Amino acid sequence: MLEAASANRLKSYAHAAGLILSLVAIAVVGLAAYRSFDGLRQSLSSPLFLSAVAGAVVIYAALLQLIGLAWHRLLSSVDGPSLGLLQALAICGRTQIYKYLPSNVLHMVGRYGFAKKAGASNKALAFAQVGELLTIVLAASMLATVLARPILVQALAAHGFDHRTLVDIAAAAGMILLVIATVLVVRFRIVAIGYRTLGALVLAVITYLLFFTGCGLLLAGLCKSLGGSVGLIDIIGIGTTAWFLGFVVPGAPGGLGVREAVLIAGLTTTGLPMAEATAAALGYRIVTMLGDVVVATTFMFLNSEDS
């Protein structure tokens, strides 16, 4: 009883801290927009940039189906075909906008409820939820560590910390610990389910790697439309890092503020001017929000037509 109360209290503190961090990040983004207002206004009104945003919304909506595919694969590895692929995609699509409520994981809770009503078992849903969290963290951290390391080294060197070997050792140690922790959690969770689910987890990691790479390419397209010349690998690494940090901060709806602040910091470190970096970050937020809305609205409409 006391342990449950302590856990709830700790969860509340973490949520409050995450919300404060999100508000601080929003203030940082607002300050960046204020300092580069003239250039930002020009960038945001560029026909090429607006066209890039419109095209990216459509592509992002398509990329979101990868998340549904990964989730369905995790479910079906336990339950078999109890939930059809199109049904799983519809559930994922309809609940995407839940992450913009005062939390950044309510879309997962929504999926659980809808899939439960559709006939999925509690065991499969619990495994899919844990498996999805693990694969997101593992895929994002792997991609961010490998691709964003040069940017981190450059940023640290700019602040007087020029020890690349130490950074490499820390990054490698962190990845090893993360992989070990993932294996232990998976081993603990799937003992009673069966090792065939390991294949589903591997496929889910690969699917999320494709998703993050695709999102990074969209960000690169936005930067290119603004005249930026940042390397493609750097942009994918920065974009994945921003997405990951926005995801793990508790209480930040959809990573709001946190993701944009990290994007601006990372892009400016590579030499992109503040106005263009801020425009790219804001444009990326517009793309992801509109993409989520488009997917949710589409599946809600299709669901109403079927009923």
- Supply φ then ψ for residue 167, to 5 degrees: -65, -45
Query: If you count them, how many residues does the chain have?
Result: 307
Spans of all domains in the chain: 28-306
Instruction: Answer yes or no: are the C-beta atoms of 112 and 122 closer than 8 Å.
Output: no
- Of residues 289, 272, 204, 281, the one with CA closest to residue 28: 281
Average pLDDT, the chain: 82
Spatial distance between the Cα atoms of 222 and 260, rounded to a whole number of angstroms = 14
Long-range contacts (CB closer than 8 Å, 24 or more residues apart) made by 34-39: 35/274, 36/273, 36/274, 36/275, 36/278, 38/275, 39/273, 39/274, 39/275, 39/276
Q: Could you please report the per-residue DSSP string of 39-83?
A: HHHHHHT-HHHHHHHHHHHHHHHHHHHHHHHHHHHHHHHHH-TTS
pLDDT one-digit tens code per residue, 32-65: 888 888 888 998 889 999 999 999 999 999 999 9
Instruction: Answer yes or no: are the C-beta atoms of 111 and 95 closer than 8 Å.
Output: yes
First to last CA, the chain: 44
Both structure tokens of 153: 């080294």
- Of residues 230, 289, 264, 249, the one with CA closest to residue 17: 249
Instruction: Answer yes or no: are the C-beta atoms of 263 and 277 closer than 8 Å.
Output: yes
The whole-model pTM stands at: 0.87
- Of residues 261, 234, 230, the one with CA closest to residue 245: 261
Instruction: Answer yes or no: are the C-beta atoms of 259 and 243 closer than 8 Å.
Output: yes
Q: Residue 269: what residue type?
A: T
Spatial distance between the Cα atoms of 134 and 70, rounded to a whole number of angstroms = 12
Average pLDDT of the residues in 208-237? 92
Q: Which of 17-21, 40-44, 299-303 has the highest mean pLDDT?
A: 40-44
pLDDT value at position 186?
59
Q: Residue 306: what residue type?
A: D
Confidence of residue 175 (pLDDT cuts 50, 70, 90): low
pLDDT value at position 283?
96
Least confident of 42-46, 123-127, 164-168, 177-181: 164-168
Q: Residue 290: what residue type?
A: L
Spatial distance between the Cα atoms of 246 and 251, rounded to a whole number of angstroms = 10
Confidence of residue 7 (pLDDT cuts 50, 70, 90): low
pLDDT one-digit tens code per residue, 251-282: 777 788 889 999 998 898 888 999 999 999 99
pLDDT value at position 182?
61
Per DSSP, 99 falls in state G
Instruction: Answer yes or no: are the C-beta atoms of 239 and 284 closer than 8 Å.
Output: yes
124 CB-side CA count, 13 A: 23
Looking at the predicted structure, is the pLDDT value of residue 215 above 90?
yes
pLDDT value at position 200?
87
Spatial distance between the Cα atoms of 127 and 76, rounded to a whole number of angstroms = 10
Confidence of residue 307 (pLDDT cuts 50, 70, 90): low
pLDDT value at position 221?
95
Query: Left (φ > 0), alpha (ψ -120 to 50) or beta: where does 271 sit?
Result: left
